[in-house]
Amino acid sequence: MKPIPNGAQGRYVHRVLPAHLANRFKDSILPPVFSTPYLILIMENAALNAIKQYLGEGESAVGTRIDVRHLVATPVGREVVGHAEVMRIDGRRIFFRVWAMDGEETIGVGIHERTVVHTARIVEQMAAKYGPPSAED
């Protein structure tokens, strides 16, 4: 991993489709609004985009913590933009400020932590624990 500067930023753009609504994704009794799990997905992808250029060959960064407040309901068809900014680094752990916008309005805010990992090592550890992946994987 190359040194990652504090303040490095990333973004991720996502259009809200019917499958992303709380009443389709989670439970039909919920209103037809953008679901929190998809909001988190957008924020996590923005964080990964903020640091991709600093990762070495065979490295990635997995989400290990997230604390998000979902502030505003968003309907289908809207474009949501997730943003992330590196706040600090502690070894392989990277801490982000994350937020998402629906046009000019902030719809979610939070903090997020990712840990840099070697992808081959994770695959090896999973194979040792669960056996080799099946042909369907």
Distance, CA of 7 to CA of 19 (rounded, Å): 33
Distance, CA of 75 to CA of 12 (rounded, Å): 18
1 belongs to a structural domain: no
107 belongs to a structural domain: yes
- DSSP assignment of the chain: -----TT-EEEEEEE--GGGBHHHHT-TTS-SSB-HHHHHHHHHHHHHHHHGGG--TTEEEEEEEEEEEE-S---TT-EEEEEEEEEEEETTEEEEEEEEEETTEEEEEEEEEEEEEEHHHHHHHHHHHH-SPPTT-
103 belongs to a structural domain: yes
- pTM of the full structure: 0.91
90 belongs to a structural domain: yes
**Total structural domains within the chain:** 1
CATH classification at residue 102: 3.10.129.10
56 belongs to a structural domain: yes
- Interval 21-51: pLDDT, tens: 999 877 888 889 999 999 999 999 999 999 9
2 belongs to a structural domain: no
Distance, CA of 103 to CA of 106 (rounded, Å): 8
22 belongs to a structural domain: yes
- Interval 90-125: pLDDT, tens: 999 999 999 999 988 999 999 999 999 999 998 899
Residue 58: domain span: 9-130
118 belongs to a structural domain: yes
- Interval 5-26: pLDDT, tens: 999 999 999 999 999 999 987 7
Amino acid sitting at position 7: G
